[in-house]
């Protein structure tokens, strides 16, 4: 089947498949007051209460502590599920909440914050109705109206990236939603070209050093590869077939020549309900596919039919660090792996219910060396518990040494695994050395990013920027650390006068 015919066929099946997915989700919404009662005794869980229609538009000026460098100027974005309750009902799964983009503007001796719910088609319809209308990953809503494609239930809740003069609020299976960086007002879904409306544009695009944006999209058997230029214009879209149809594909990497996509053996079984109390008892909607390996799909950027699939022992992969090509042509890929789907089925549900979590298996940072000539693969695991890997943004697709992550336990101290991250660490992928700072178990550490220091070129000539929730202050704190001295902790903090729902991903744009 030719590329044009593949695209037409993909568009034809998209709406029908989307309607099926939206109508066969898991447990029904729970009573919102149950969570409110639960978090009174568990202060760490309070931000998972989320926002409401009236609090989904926040503005404030932060209280500054420490020394904020005058040369650090720009906008730091975060995105994540934020609205979990409506009409006295509450979603069952963390991933279900409507997206809220947070913008921290740094400069002129101050840090200001603006946060706004993304005004998606779904959110506007439910706001007008005064109740949930659309089923989601982990919550079944009765009476879901007919839908014409994935954007009918697109929550735009996973990542936020400023590119070519607009902020893209990104989700897993539908369009990017454009926001105005001046005030975060919603401009609408992005259609990159003719006949490309609602074609999935996933949540983890990679922007290379020249400003080109690369992304994937998956739905059923289809695998889409996007190339967007620095001006925000479509260069090329290619549609091929996934070697593992219907699986959960979350992240990807690029090198100078290749697109690299981990395909974990996780099937999305929306027709398999949770138990009657929604606590994960019984069939899981996210199921490890017995006997299936972790696949790594490598595709030529210019022609995705030129590909190779590598197979490894099964595990879940949420997030990729980076990839690069060695001088011998082999590809090195870094990612975070976990043995099972515990967090998908139980951890993310427990957070919404406000109950204690039984810790799942610890994750590990891993390096793969992929030999495109022979098809052989080498795998190395580091002894750590980590998530949310990030690298120097100037080196995306190039060789990197340092990987920045959050962590839940200190490999050099107690080795106690913590269900919520409370430390930030740098991993030297060449020596295995790990350097970290621990905020303490009163804090929830979110994803941090590298911010290169102006005029500097080294990987550690950078600041580390990210948010934490401080349960003692009951506030969200923006932290700035010096990458070369991470063990010293924040050199500066900006404390908001309120708390924000914990987010997933974001990026920094220099002024």
Q: What DSSP line would sit under 463-485, residue for residue? A: EEEEEEEETTTTEEEEEEEEGGG
| 268 token code pair | 């999305």
Note whether 214 and 249 are same-domain residues.
no
Contact (Cβ atoms closer than 8 angstroms) between residue 355 and residue 396: no
Note whether 469 and 408 are same-domain residues.
yes
The answer to whether residue 387 sits within a structural domain is: no
Note whether 246 and 198 are same-domain residues.
no
The answer to whether residue 431 sits within a structural domain is: yes
Q: Give me the percent of the chain exceeding a pLDDT of 70.
A: 88
Note whether 47 and 173 are same-domain residues.
yes
Instruction: Tell me the backbone φ, ψ of residue 223, rounded to 5 degrees.
Output: -130, 120
Strand, helix or coil at 189?
A: strand
User: Residue 296 has what pLDDT?
Assistant: 98
Note whether 417 and 365 are same-domain residues.
no
Q: What angle do CA 220, 222, 223 make, to 5 degrees?
A: 125
User: Residue 502 has what pLDDT?
Assistant: 96
The answer to whether residue 225 sits within a structural domain is: yes
Structural domain count, the chain = 3
Which residues lie closer than 8 Å to 249 by C-beta, 6 or more apart? 202, 216, 218, 242, 261, 262, 263, 264
The answer to whether residue 302 sits within a structural domain is: yes
Strand, helix or coil at 167?
A: strand
Note whether 231 and 249 are same-domain residues.
no
User: Residue 117 has what pLDDT?
Assistant: 98
The answer to whether residue 511 sits within a structural domain is: no
Note whether 407 and 465 are same-domain residues.
yes
CA distance 448 to 464: 6
202 DSSP 8-state letter:
-
Among 358, 381, 404, where does a domain finish? Answer: 381
Note whether 171 and 129 are same-domain residues.
yes
Contact (Cβ atoms closer than 8 angstroms) between residue 492 and residue 65: yes
The answer to whether residue 358 sits within a structural domain is: yes
189-to-62, 121, 152, 339, 477 alpha-carbon distances in Å: 31, 9, 11, 36, 31
Among 351, 381, 411, where does a domain finish? Answer: 381
Note whether 324 and 270 are same-domain residues.
yes
User: Residue 357 has what pLDDT?
Assistant: 63
Note whether 227 and 266 are same-domain residues.
no
Which residues lie closer than 8 Å to 491 by C-beta, 6 or more apart? 66, 67, 480, 481, 482
User: Residue 359 has what pLDDT?
Assistant: 64
Among 381, 406, 439, where does a domain finish? Answer: 381
Note whether 296 and 258 are same-domain residues.
yes
The answer to whether residue 222 sits within a structural domain is: yes
Which residues does the chain have with pLDDT short of 50?
Answer: 1-3, 5, 12-13, 15-17, 19-25, 274-283, 411-412, 414-417
The answer to whether residue 224 sits within a structural domain is: yes
Instruction: Give me the domain span that covers residue 219.
Output: 1-239
Note whether 42 and 132 are same-domain residues.
yes
Instruction: Tell me the backbone φ, ψ of residue 36, rounded to 5 degrees.
Output: -55, -45
Contact (Cβ atoms closer than 8 angstroms) between residue 99 and residue 118: yes
CA distance 477 to 111: 11
User: Residue 220 has what pLDDT?
Assistant: 86
């Amino acid at each position: 089947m030719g590329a044009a015919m593949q695209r037409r066929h993909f568009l034809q099946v998209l709406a029908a498949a989307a309607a099926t997915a939206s109508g066969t989700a898991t447990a029904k919404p729970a009573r919102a007051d149950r969570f409110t009662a639960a978090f009174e005794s568990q202060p760490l869980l309070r931000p998972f209460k989320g926002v409401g229609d009236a609090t989904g538009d926040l503005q404030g000026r932060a209280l500054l502590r420490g020394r904020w460098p005058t040369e650090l100027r720009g906008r730091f974005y975060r995105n994540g599920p934020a609205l979990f309750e409506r009409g006295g009902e509450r979603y069952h799964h963390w991933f279900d909440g409507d997206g809220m983009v947070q913008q921290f503007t740094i400069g002129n001796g101050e840090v200001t914050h603006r946060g706004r719910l993304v005004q998606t088609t779904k959110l506007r319809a439910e706001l007008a109705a005064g109740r949930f209308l659309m089923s989601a990953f982990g919550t079944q809503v009765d009476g879901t109206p007919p839908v014409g494609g994935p954007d009918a239930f697109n929550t735009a809740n996973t990542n936020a990236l400023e590119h070519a003069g607009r902020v893209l609020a990104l989700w897993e299976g539908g369009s990017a939603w454009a926001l105005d960086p001046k005030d975060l007002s919603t401009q609408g879904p992005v259609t990159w070209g003719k006949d490309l409306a609602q074609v999935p544009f996933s949540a983890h695009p990679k922007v290379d050093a020249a400003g080109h944006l690369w992304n994937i999209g998956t739905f059923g058997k289809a695998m889409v590869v996007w190339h967007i230029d620095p001006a925000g214009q479509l260069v090329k879209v290619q549609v091929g077939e996934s070697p593992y149809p219907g699986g959960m594909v979350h992240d990807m990497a690029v090198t100078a020549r290749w697109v690299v996509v981990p395909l974990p053996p996780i099937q999305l079984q929306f027709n398999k309900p949770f138990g009657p109390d929604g606590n994960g008892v019984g069939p899981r909607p996210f199921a490890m596919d017995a006997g299936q390996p972790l696949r790594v799909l490598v595709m030529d950027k210019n022609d995705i039919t030129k590909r190779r699939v590598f197979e490894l022992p099964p595990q879940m992969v949420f997030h990729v660090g980076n990839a690069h090509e060695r001088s011998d042509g082999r590809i090195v890929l870094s990612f975070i792996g976990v043995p099972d789907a515990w967090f998908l089925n139980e951890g993310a549900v427990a957070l919404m219910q406000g109950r204690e979590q039984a810790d799942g298996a610890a994750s590990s940072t891993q390096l793969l060396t992929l030999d495109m000539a022979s098809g052989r693969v080498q795998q190395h695991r580091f002894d750590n518990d980590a998530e949310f890997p990030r690298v120097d943004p100037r080196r995306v697709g190039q060789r990197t040494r340092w990987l920045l992550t959050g962590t839940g336990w200190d490999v050099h101290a107690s080795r106690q695994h913590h269900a919520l991250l409370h430390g930030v660490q740098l991993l030297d992928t060449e020596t295995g050395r790990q350097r970290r700072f621990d905020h303490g178990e009163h804090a929830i550490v979110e994803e941090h990013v590298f911010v290169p220091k102006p005029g500097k070129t080294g990987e550690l000539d950078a600041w580390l920027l990210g948010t934490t929730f401080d349960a003692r202050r009951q506030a969200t704190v923006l932290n700035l650390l010096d990458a070369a001295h991470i063990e010293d902790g924040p050199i500066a903090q900006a404390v908001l006068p309120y708390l924000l729902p914990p987010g997933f991903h974001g990026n920094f744009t220099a002024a």
